[in-house]
Amino acid sequence: MDSYNILVTGGAGFIGSHLVERLLKEKNRVTILDNFSSGKIENIKSFLDNSYLTLIKEDLKKPAKLKHIIKDFEFVFHIAANPEVRVGETDPKVHFEENILTTFNLLEAIRKTSTSKTVVFTSTSTVYGEASQIPTPENYAPLIPISTYGASKLACEALLLSYAHTFNLRALVLRLANVIGPRSNHGVIVDFIKKISSNKKQLEILGDGTQEKSYIYINDCVDAIIHLTDILIKRTEKVDIYNIGSNDKITVKEIAEICAQEMDTPKITYNFNGGVDGGRGWKGDVKTMQLSIDKLIQTGWKPMYTSRQAVKLATKTIKKDL
């Protein structure tokens, strides 16, 4: 896509900053809207001087200028969210405020402009909960998330789709597998790298190590987002939903072994803490996750990296950033 006027909420975060960088390369005019609660100025410093980029500090929980800002954009990529699943166990209000409330405020601002908009929303594999069908397709039901994070994202999906049908906008919901790569500041790889850096003899692993999930490298993820948005532009559908992930999965123990190898600690010992609820890392941790990406592949796109390749590449890049 090129030559559009685009707003990216959470554009200074991990996924958002990579998406903004790609949109700018394609000669779009991009405005980042971020409150910098988890986003970092360092993530966007390499392209901050781009004349096609505008940066606005605004908190979607209590927006002051949003109604006036939003009217000028054809596309809104809504990526702003609290992405940490584990925080829901101790402070579920965070997911309500940072995910659901922010989405509602954004949609209300769009509604009040009375102009046609396209909203691309980054959702999550956790909306499926403990799916009995693996790989899990987009039409799997019922959706029973087991974390407040997954529940909040599912609520956001419902809000977006209802607004698309009721008001003058189109919606693309993208359910992402675990996205990894440079600029990431949370997740299992970041956790392992930090732990190995502080203790090269022993690595604590949350759960029993058999948790098995799909991982997608950030470049693949952004490429798929752009690809599917381009498709939406050409079609007439009011709403659509796609999974974005890889065609395989990898265990936590295998990730630990890759991190140990990349950190040059091949003799490190692993200390599995046993976890909760049958070996999960924490309450709300889905034990097995692999999204079906057949619908995405049928559009002519496929990931460049497998989960294992993505983990290895991400470990190489993340360790340089930490």
Q: Which residues are catalytic?
A: 149
* CB count in 10 Å sphere of residue 205: 22
Beta bridge partners of 77: 8, 120
Is the link from the previous residue into 63 a cis peptide, with omega within 30 of 0? no
| The pair of three-digit structure tokens given for residue 221, joined into one six-digit string | 């993820």
**Distance (Å, whole) CA 147 – CA 86:** 8
Neighbouring C-beta atoms of residue 271, cutoff 10 Å: 12
Query: Rounded to an integer, what distance in angstroms lies between the CA atom of residue 272 and that of residue 275?
Result: 8
Please give the helix or strand (H or E) that residue 112 lies within, else none: helix 102-113
Q: Which residue has the tokens 């850096």?
A: 197
CA distance 73 to 88: 33
In angstroms, rounded to a whole number, what is the distance separating the alpha carbons of residues 30 and 75?
10
Give the pairing type, strands 29-34 and 5-9. Answer: parallel
Distance CA 241, CA 307 (A): 22
**H or E element at residue 242:** strand 239-244
